[in-house]
Amino acid sequence: MNLFVTGASGFLGAHTIIQWLSQQPNGKVAGLVRAPTEAAARDKLRGVLKQALHDQNLDLEWAQLEPRITVLYGDIAEYGWHEQAAFKKWFAASGRVRVFHNAANQSLRDEDRRLVWRHNVEGTRVLLSVLLEQPGIESFNYISTAYVTGTREGHILEDATERPPDFYNGHEESKWQAEQIVKQVCSAQRLPYRIFRPSILVGHSVTHRAFAMTGFYAFIDKLLRTKQRHKLAGAVQNTPQKLMAPSFKRAATLNLVPVDLAALEILDLMEQGMMSAYRCFHITNERPFSVADLCFALESLLDMQFSYSAPQQAQQPSLVELGLRYYLPYLMDFHRFDRRNVHLFGAARYQERYLFDLTRLRELVSAFLKQRAQAGIPRQDNPAAQPVISEAVSAILKRSSHGDATAHQWSVHDREML
């Protein structure tokens, strides 16, 4: 059994390839990388795979793995990449192949909506049309997102089929639409499929390292950059200042899952063959953090103090105005992602022996801050110079189909009781 991977140079893609190669000593991988040339794709993929191998701290040498990897290049949304001689040769020699479709445009920005749709929806359609002509496809495994739930809150079932009332951004909507295409096309062609829905991926569960500075890490980086801008802009000196947070709901949660645990669960479920086919799986943390817990953990690490005030009390520039508005929906809703299917096939065992608590969260963030500093982006630690960042949350509340300006305000007492 061999593995064909799109988005091979992505965070989850790279970690999954390394895990799969370590589990399948005779298996081979073809990785499709978005790059202009074969040489650029090879350099890009080699770099991220070596980093993923380092981050996982596996007892493997890169020289052992590299001969088993074929690099392909191109834009998944455009026909033509499958005409490469390397693509035809690999499929002709591969026998049975599992497809791991991980490629995606993850932008949350409104101005990127058309590009996101082209890559995530039309790219999935193109990929399926190409692969259905290839011999030996055993299954099609699509990497979606847990946040196809859009504005829906509460208990989210893996097998729910109805469209959410609304979506917060084009990325969520494109992933939901791509899921429908996968289900319809694969069912019509009798091609077994699985849909995996990871939540927000963070670093390795043990080493805490992460080479991808997106998602949760991008949010932290934005906070630190904003802090530095306010310092350079001459925030009021010698005055204790706070980071004003939105009016979070009491039950708001943030679901973070270590990338290695996500990869292990996915590979485990893929190995179950037809038994696990034609299902959706939430690759999520069964113990999500409350947003209040999250902010409490970040305060000392980022030298910022969060204060929970009503929108009408906020008088400084808002997080929306400071470029953080795309992250706010993920800090304002409550989700309980059902994992009945994951448990049914025994793949939840990886999380059962791993406690993702505030201590480990601090270790993950500390590892990111260290890596950020080593990359030449200073933390600018100065407890006396904390920034003024306020949140007039009305803008984001208008985008949500739930919540209002009277949402619960976390008091000092509330947070001391956590």
Residue 184 pLDDT level (bands cut at 50, 70, 90): very high
| Residue 292 located in a structural domain | yes
Better-scored residue on pLDDT, 10 or 397: 10
β-pairing, 253-254 vs 289-290, is: antiparallel
- Residue 246 within a domain: yes
> 113 and 224: one domain?
no
pLDDT on residue 294: 87
At residue 416, the pLDDT reads 30
Residue 208 belongs to a domain: no
**Do residues 199 and 255 lie in contact, with contact meaning Cβ atoms separated by under 8 Å?**
yes
Assess if residue 210 is contained within a domain: no
Does residue 196 share a domain with residue 131? yes
156 and 224 housed in the same domain: no
Evaluate whether residue 74 is within a structural domain. yes
> Are residues 236 and 260 located together in one domain of the fold?
no
Q: Does some domain include residue 343?
A: no
Composition of the chain by helix, strand, coil, percent to 5: 45, 15, 40
The string of pLDDT tens digits covering residues 207-233 is: 999 998 888 999 898 888 877 776 655
Structure token digits, residue 219: 């949010």
Q: Report how many domains make up the chain.
A: 2
Residues 243, 132 share a domain: no
366 CB contacts (<8 Å, ≥6 apart)? 208, 301
Closest CA to 261 of 103, 56, 58, 31: 56
* Domain assignment present for 26: yes
Predicted TM-score (pTM) of the model is: 0.86
11 compared with 249, residue with greater pLDDT: 11
Biggest alpha carbon–alpha carbon distance for the chain: 69
Q: What is the CATH number of the domain that holds 146?
A: 3.40.50.720
Check pLDDT > 60 for residue 332.
yes
Range of the domain at 404: 216-254+288-334+356-416
Examine the domain organization and report whether 34 and 135 are in the same domain: yes
Residue 150 shares a structural domain with residue 227: no
Question: For the segment 51-81, what is each residue's pLDDT rounded down to a tens digit?
Answer: 999 999 988 899 999 999 999 999 998 888 8
Strand 306-308 to strand 193-198: parallel, antiparallel, or no bridges (unpaired)? unpaired
Residue with tokens 């100065």: 382
Task: Report residue 238 as tokens.
Answer: 């010698």
State whether 62 and 99 are in the same domain. yes
Same domain, 250 and 261: no
pLDDT of residue 410: 30
119 and 235 inside one domain: no
Q: Are residues 239 and 170 in the same domain?
A: no
Q: Are residues 250 and 262 in the same domain?
A: no
Judge whether 82 lies within some domain: yes
